[in-house]
Amino acid sequence: FPSFWFENTPQGKFMLNIAFGQSKYYVDNLSENVKRGNRQKLRNGVWPNKAPLGYKNIVESKTIEIDPEKAKIVKKAFELFAQGKSSFTQIAKLMQKGGITSYSGKPIKIDQITRMLKKKFYVGILEFNGEEFKASHPTFISKQLFERVQENIDKISRPREVSHDFAF
């Protein structure tokens, strides 16, 4: 507390405790207000966080729009994966060639590629805290393409049966 000082007396400690209580109340109240605002944005179909790959945040209007250059690369990644001939690593290299990299300039990690390919945001559904909301942003991935990608992800991630028939 830069504007207050407290003596090491019972009264000073009591006043410090009151100041801590007020600050805790302020932070908790602010947290509730932010959560309420985010829920309202989601009900209105607006994503309250940073835009995913292929989209960009418009600060002035507080909306999300398609980033034409990056959206082409993301769509190409979805199309290649839907064909079933490309791995997550090949998709990461494709995205790096197109200028979509991590902050350090390295290819995007495989788990990030997987999350991107599973994200329902690209077909107009906002997932937040286990709930789904209809989005108001424009989409560039068709539902058919998205479903084919999900089928291929399921094929890859399905656990394989391993049979060990040992004599002993």
Element (H or E) spanning 5, and its range?
A: none
d(CA 161, CA 127): 32
Provide the pLDDT for residue 168.
66
Provide the pLDDT for residue 107.
86
Provide the pLDDT for residue 143.
93
d(CA 3, CA 64): 41
What contacts 24+ positions apart, CB below 8 Å, involve 48-57? 48/128, 52/116, 52/119, 52/121, 52/122, 53/95, 53/100, 53/116, 54/122, 54/140, 55/137
- What are the pLDDT digits (tens) for 59-102? 998 889 999 999 999 999 999 999 988 888 899 888 999 888 88
Q: How many CA atoms lie within 13 A of 83 on its CB side?
A: 10
In the numeric block, the tokens 């286990």 are attached to 130
Provide the pLDDT for residue 118.
93
Q: What is the four-CA torsion angle of 26, 27, 30, 34, rounded to 10 degrees?
A: -170
pTM: 0.76
Burial of residue 80 (CB within 10 Å: 0-12, 13-18, 19+) is: middle
Tokens of 77: 């990644």
Residues of the chain with pLDDT under 50: none
Strands (E), the chain: 55-58, 63-66, 125-128, 131-134
d(CA 159, CA 161): 7
